[in-house]
Structure 1
Amino acid sequence: MPVALITGGSAGLGRALVHSLSREGWTVVTDGRDPARLAAAVAGLEAVVPVAGDVADPAHRADLAREVGWLGRLDLLVHNASTLGPLPLRPLRETTTDDLLETWLVDAAAPVALTALVLPQLRAAGGVVVALSSDAAVEHYETWGPYAAGKAALDRLVLTMGVEEGVTTYAVDPGDMRTAMHQDAFPDEDISDRPEPASVVPALRALLAARPPSGRYRAAAYAELPRVVGAPA
């Protein structure tokens, strides 16, 4: 039975991916900061291990790694949990050093630290690391500075770690989605025209089934590719 660890599984794309993998027989370890919300998100799913906590907390990361260690393998690690930084979004001139550091801890440093903890299980299973990125990592959008820099750092750090450790790693831009985070970024806009997070899952699964070389990819480029059900992903 393949094993996945997906951070931020209580909402959005993380939740959709947890449900997709669980339905196909995967064991999934996932987390979220709100225990009640996390429990509701995975209610009724088989072989899903919810671990409430904040990925920025070293003790919580150790808890996640412990669950993976008990399972003995890790076929897929998805770094989905992230933060926009201080809200409402603001120009960099109004952003403090603490704002930057807190954002980068969640968006870049914590994923690297968590990956390091589960490297033995990833290697044992020939697993894959997916870092959910953003077009903000390569474009320049006003007021998105802390988040954009965090995602750019995440791309570089995870891909570099893959080279260093011999693990397949992907930085994946999922595109715009109708999520609470996206609404937080545009509090006065109607975002109902954005696609639901679940619509991105088939593209991610197709990318993972194709297993191209490590690198940065756009989910949209894999949206029309067939996915092999049950393929190592």
Structure 2
Amino acid sequence: MALILVTGASSGLGHDTAKALADDGHKVVVHVRNPARLTDAGDAARWKGVLLGDLTDLDEIHGVARQAAAYGRFDTVIHNAGVMRSPEAVTVNTIAPYVLTALMDKPGRLIYLSTSMHRTGSTDLSRLAAGTASYDDSKLWVTALALALASRWKGTSSHAVDPGWVPTRMGGPGAPDDLTAGHQTQVWLTTHHDVTPHTGGYWHHHQTQEPHPAAQDERFQSRLVRALENHTGVPLD
């Protein structure tokens, strides 16, 4: 069975993803900001381990990476954690996935949560350092990061997933999409070996879609990685 890390797994899509994988027999490590929110029956016995850290804080992101190192190399890391409010959005949605990816042992598979709203994000990377990035910006950037990593490391595949607008705490009770379908693509990408494309897909409900053109633009991807390296002081390689 696979060793899997899911960030932002105390509730919503992250919890649903982690629970589905654990119930299938996989060894699942969950990241949460507040362990008191792991309140579902059976949670304590379900997980291989729990990582603690506030992903709005760069020092705590480093702390999560150190905790993860105790488990060795993960087969899959699912970067699920996300927030909509600014200025925290860029730290949680883009910087945290980047820093964790750079600091952790390279897994077999990387999965990053995106959204259709990434298509209205900006390619103005000066917003990263200025702290003025919007939610849409942060999701464009993490989508570009996912696709940039698709061919960077031998033995590691990388995908971005749009789970839809689902009725989670972040999505709100009026969200129109299917909550169950919201985590199924992540689970499928984690557990199946016959995925096409093998790497570099932008997925929505088991189907690939065309992302924002910048997400596939190698020049923008390179600028993004350099900006993240400069902003965090953490090199990708």
Per the shorter chain, which TM-score range?
A: 0.7 to 0.9
Deviates more, 1:21-30 or 1:8-17: 21-30
1:171 aligned onto 2:160: yes
Q: Which residue of 2 aligns with 1:15?
A: 15
Correspondence for 1:219: 204
Which sections of structure 2, spanning at least 5 residues, go unmatched?
122-132, 209-237
Structure that is richer in helix per residue:
1
1:147 is the counterpart of 2:135: yes
Aligned pair in 2 of structure 1 residues 192, 80: CA closer, same or farther (>3 Å)?
Answer: closer
Corresponding residue number in structure 2 for 1:119: 105
- Rate the CA distance shift 1:134–1:217 in 2: closer, same or farther, 3 A: same
Within the alignment, does 1:157 sit opposite 2:145 as a pair? yes
Change (3 A) 1:148 1:50: same
User: Which structure 2 residues correspond to residues 29-44 of structure 1 after superposition, within 5 A?
Assistant: 29-38=29-38, 40=40, 43-44=43-44
One-letter amino acid of the counterpart of residue 203, structure 1: T
User: Which residue of 164, 168, 174 maps to 1:191?
Assistant: 174
Q: Deviations over 1:57-94 (max 9, x none)?
A: 344334433443333221111111111024xxxxxxxx
Given the superposition, is the C-alpha separation of residues 65 and 159 from structure 1 closer, same or farther in structure 2, using an over 3 Å criterion?
same
Distance 1:157 1:44 in 2: 33
Aligned residue for 1:182, secondary structure, equals coil
Residue type matched to 1:151 in 2? K
In structure 2, C-alpha distance between the alignment counterparts of 1:71 and 1:206, rounded to whole Å:
23
Query: Match of 1:181, SS?
Result: coil
Query: How far apart, in 2, do the equivalents of 1:115 and 1:192 lie?
Result: 30
Distance 1:105 1:202, change over 3 A: closer
Structure-1-length-normalised TM-score: 0.72
Q: Pick closer, same or farther for the CA change 1:42–1:59 going to 2, 3 Å.
A: farther
Aligned length: 193
Structure 1 residue runs of 5 or longer lacking an equivalent are 87-98, 184-189, 224-233
1:106 aligns with 2:92: yes
Deviations along 1:130-152, one digit per CA (max 9) or x if unpaired, are 00000001147xxxx71110000
Aligned residues: CA RMSD: 2.5
CA contact (8 A) 2:51 2:68 kept: no
Out of 160, 167, 187, the position equivalent to 1:205 is: 187
